[in-house]
Structure 1
Amino acid sequence: MEYRSIFIETVFGFIMLFVLAKLLGKTQIKQLTAFDFISALILGELVGNALYDNEVGIRQVGFAVAIWGALLYITELTTQKFKKTRAVLEGRPSMVIHKGNIQREEMKKSKLDMNQLLHLLRSKDVFSVQEVDYAILESDGTVSVLKKSADQQPTRTDFKLPKEQVYLPFMVINDGEPIIDSLKEIGKDEQWLKKELKKQKINSVEEVFYAEFTKDNQLFVQSN
């Protein structure tokens, strides 16, 4: 009975948290601000404690998660309708590099040291502070970087080249299974896929680990 109870409460807690995450939207997962971090800890504690507390059942778990979810939802509505609350509840970006100069005061306010700043810059493929004109520490802990003009990558506009249409590569096989939606998107079917595979001396879709269709009608295939 004890294991059965733990199993039921675990599954129920998982479903409740999954539904809650879906209702709150992707920002709660992708952009983990300080407030969201606290929310994640609390939700984990609510479900975790319920699993090993004999006096707490599914109703109590559901009630606690629902209450906390309602508080999160109210907070989201508050930040959307009242702009002044965003700085308190979500935090605000800090400009840690301005016109090539490191802003020490802003770094102190954000509890950011040079090692951490350099780490964040490297994550943006910047290996020297001298390359940076502006750097903004976002509320979710990431950094946005605008390089100096001399260190920026040239674009087609810089070379006065004509614009070209951008094409999205499509994964058509994943671990031996054809992706039907992707095939429909590119106007192909499974028969076409099998013919293309035979051209590369592959007899079956099951033999393919990954296949990608690119703009020039080329099929890139990696076998198992």
Structure 2
Amino acid sequence: MDELIGIALELFFGFICLFILTKFLGRATITQLTTFDFISALVLGELVGNALYDSEVGVGKILFSVIFWGALIYVTEVITQKNIRLRLFLEGRPSIIIRKGKISYKELSKNRLDIDQLLHMLRSKDIFSIREVEYAILETDGSLSVLPKSDYAKPTRSDLQLPPSEPALPIAFVSDGRLLLKNLIQSGFDEDWLKTQLKKQGFTDYKQVLYAEWQQGSTLFIESY
């Protein structure tokens, strides 16, 4: 009986610790499960699970293990908010699986996807033919974001009897106060152009900009801190 009471107490304290830790770290640990988040969740589960069935491990050790591991995750999250390279290393980067209606076999192979898996993911977005897709982006959490061709957008331009237009993918130029030079150059611009656009909206330095994106046919969209 005493053993059962001990397990119940350990379960209770383990549940409370994990609940508080999840609340503290934010909803991203649940809704946006990246590779790093997945590993973190597994380790947390193992820490509590193993402790429950180890007679030498008490509530104090469970509490210490969960708090220490949670602190490591929190510090890592803070660092990745400031360091883009480390963030990309831990969380990865989105992959453009379909670009301008063409499948990138290189990106498929890189992400260990086959055509059947891609079709399944498209069907989950209510798209049943690849010919309907202009862009498909595999996000870091494993989900697929899809930009359909204008003729297949809802409502369709064909339904409205409008001439077709080519969809344009928004491109980030500044993220977390850092210039994404590769994106800027690939879009046909240079730093002088970007600085001029920033000055028009009252920004004199990249560090003032939380996020800036450009889309064909639209002005530069800027969000400050």
TM norm. shorter chain > 0.5: yes
Letter in structure 2 aligned against 1:154: P
Aligned partner of 1:20 in structure 2 is 21
Secondary structure at the residue paired with 1:154?
coil
Aligned partner of 2:133 in structure 1 is 132
| 2-structure distance, mates of 1:112, 1:35 | 20
| 2-structure distance, mates of 1:39, 1:114 | 30
| 2-structure distance, mates of 1:149, 1:104 | 24
Q: CA deviation at 1:85?
A: 1.2
Output one character per residue of 1:9-55: Cα deviation in whole Å (capped at 9) or x when no partner: 00000000000000000111100111111111111100000110000
Q: CA deviation at 1:6?
A: 0.2
Q: How many residues align?
A: 158
Letter in structure 2 aligned against 1:81: K
Spell out the pairing of 1:9-158 with structure 2 (5 A cutoff).
9-154=10-155
| 2-structure distance, mates of 1:105, 1:129 | 17
Secondary structure at the residue paired with 1:18?
helix
Output one character per residue of 1:173-200: Cα deviation in whole Å (capped at 9) or x when no partner: xxxxxxxxxxxxxxxxxxxxxxxxxxxx
| 1-structure distance, mates of 2:80, 2:126 | 33
- Normalised by the size of structure 2, how large is the TM-score? 0.68
Q: CA deviation at 1:154?
A: 2.4
- Consecutive unaligned residues of structure 2, counting only runs of 5 or more, are 161-225
Secondary structure at the residue paired with 1:96?
strand
| 2-structure distance, mates of 1:67, 1:119 | 40
Letter in structure 2 aligned against 1:131: E
Output one character per residue of 1:54-99: Cα deviation in whole Å (capped at 9) or x when no partner: 0000011011101110111011101101111111111110000000
Percent of paired sites with the same residue: 59
| 2-structure distance, mates of 1:100, 1:67 | 47
| 1-structure distance, mates of 2:5, 2:64 | 21
Letter in structure 2 aligned against 1:55: E
Secondary structure at the residue paired with 2:43?
helix
Letter in structure 2 aligned against 1:52: Y
Alpha-carbon RMSD across the aligned residues, in angstroms, is: 1.5
Aligned partner of 1:203 in structure 2 is none
Aligned partner of 2:7 in structure 1 is 6
| 1-structure distance, mates of 2:130, 2:94 | 19
Secondary structure at the residue paired with 2:69?
helix
| 2-structure distance, mates of 1:110, 1:87 | 15
